[in-house]
Amino acid sequence: MGKKTIVIGGGIIGLCSAYYLLKEGHEVTVIDKSNISDGASFINAGYLTPSHIIPLASPGMIAKGIKWMFNSASPFYMKPRLDSEFLSWAWYFHRSSTYGKVERAIPVIKDINILSRELFKSMKTSGDLGDFHLEREGLLMLYKTDAAGEEEIKISEKAKLLGLEVDLLDKNQLDALQPQLNIDARGAIHYGCDGHMTPTEFMPKMIAFLQSSGVTIKTNEEVLDMVVSNRGIEQLITTKDTYVPDEVVLAAGSWSGQLATKLKIKLPIQAGKGYAINMERPTGITIPAILMEAKVAVTPMKGFTRFAGTMEFSGINTIIRKERVQAIANAVNKFYPEIAINKEELASAQSGMRPVSPDGLPYIGRSSAIKNLTFATGHAMMGWSLGPATGKLVSEIVGGKRTSLDVGPFSPSRKF
């Protein structure tokens, strides 16, 4: 028999959770504090990335963070601040950035990404959402320097051992792949295992399908409190109503830590802001790419090309830092000399908050303190890629079924 389940959060993770909970026969309500029309689920790079096997918390990242801390235009930026939660998270991040922990995380990240990629494909085949943009052109890691190329080649060798499709391209091979495009790069690693989508097309189609199928979606409604009794959430109080759920799924992205605090649960999470610029003019770009030295993502989407990047830890805010947007534009022009982002396109840049756990793995699993609470958050830069897999796992957890993957590594109560 289906359970009355409330999903807090209407981003890609929350909606995919609602989708699979619906498929399992549960009565689902999604509650979001916004109108679900912007934020990280709409302005991301749209990647499906089995190739992204190395978590953000990796050896050397803290050193880079300190080096870049005083350069607000750097790809990875931590705003200096005395904030106990941030300092605690940064310490956990440091403890997670070891070779041993990264090696253990690699197959876990690969497996959940592969599962999610195939679930996206199944969604398209099912016709539930109608037709939507989903391509498998792979991902180019473009590099200008030998150092960057050698660094990615080491990662590609690990990817090959995991059975992922990888090709090393010199300049001539790169030019042959996109002959209509002038690319100023020494070479590239092409991950044929990756795909891409258009988030701004997919999200409204998912919302429309859920609503037409009986899922209740409450927008512009904020969760204020949760009443706990006998180790379970008995009431969920919002700005507009009070709910009595059988199950609660916390998928509120960067706000998940704040909501967990209301339940006296410590969930280490920080908001990592990213920026995106859309160009609706023709660019000639047909294959997604990451401009390695600048950490900028390039995606040919339906009707436009998106340039996205940066990981900025400056708290939860929607401030657009012009110097960071300009850094993305500068990087694009360096790699694609014939593409120049104009003032109007720069002015239309958007930002989104990505929820980042200290070790780079998401939180997916039952709460050890609250028996009817399941976490689904902390996906960092892989939120879009891992939406369906997370939703599938959530539905299996709520339904008491054997999960498609071992969720142990994603435990919300894991130690850092």
* Whole-prediction pTM: 0.96
Predicted confidence at residue 79, as pLDDT, reads 79
Question: Is the predicted pLDDT of residue 138 greater than 90, yes or no?
Answer: yes
For residue 318, the SS3 value is coil
Q: Which residues contact 179 (CB under 8 A, 6 or more apart)?
A: none
Question: Mean pLDDT over residues 339-357, rounded?
Answer: 96
Question: Is the predicted pLDDT of residue 61 greater than 80, yes or no?
Answer: no
Residue among 188, 147, 135 nearest 166 (CA): 188
Predicted confidence at residue 90, as pLDDT, reads 87
Predicted confidence at residue 69, as pLDDT, reads 64
pLDDT tens string 235-273: 999 999 999 999 999 999 999 999 999 999 999 999 999
Residue 14 phi/psi, 5° resolution?
A: -65, -45
Measure the CA–CA gap between 313 and 324, rounded to whole angstroms.
Answer: 13
Predicted confidence at residue 143, as pLDDT, reads 98
Question: Mean pLDDT over residues 216-240, rounded?
Answer: 97
Predicted confidence at residue 66, as pLDDT, reads 66
Residue among 364, 358, 350, 344 nearest 407 (CA): 364
Measure the CA–CA gap between 412 and 278, rounded to whole angstroms.
Answer: 35
Residue 17 phi/psi, 5° resolution?
A: -65, -45
Measure the CA–CA gap between 233 and 5, rounded to whole angstroms.
Answer: 11
CB atoms within 10 A of CB 228: 18
Task: Give 110's Cβ-side CA count (13 Å radius).
Answer: 21
Predicted confidence at residue 77, as pLDDT, reads 79
pLDDT tens string 141-173: 999 999 999 999 999 999 999 999 999 999 999
pLDDT tens string 25-34: 999 999 999 9
Q: 190 near 140, Cβ under 8 Å?
A: yes
Run of H or E residues at 197: strand 195-197
Q: Are strands 350-356 and 270-279 parallel, antiparallel or unpaired?
A: antiparallel
Residue-range domains of the chain with CATH: 4-410 (3.50.50.60)
Among 27-41, 81-95, 192-206, 319-333, the range scoring the smallest mean pLDDT is: 81-95
Question: Is the predicted pLDDT of residue 62 greater than 90, yes or no?
Answer: no
What CA–CA distances, in Å, run from 307 to 43, 275, 276? 10, 8, 6
Secondary structure of 71-127 in the HEC alphabet?
Answer: CCCCCEEECCCCCHHHHHHHHHHHHHCCHHHHHHHHHHHHHHHHHHHHHHHHHHHHC
Question: What single DSSP character describes residue 381?
Answer: G
Measure the CA–CA gap between 18 and 249, rounded to whole angstroms.
Answer: 9
Q: Which amino acid is at 98?
A: T
The side-by-side arrangement of strands in the sheet containing 232-238 is: 223-229, 232-238, 242-243
Q: Are strands 139-143 and 289-291 parallel, antiparallel or unpaired?
A: parallel
First-to-last C-alpha distance (Å) of the chain? 37
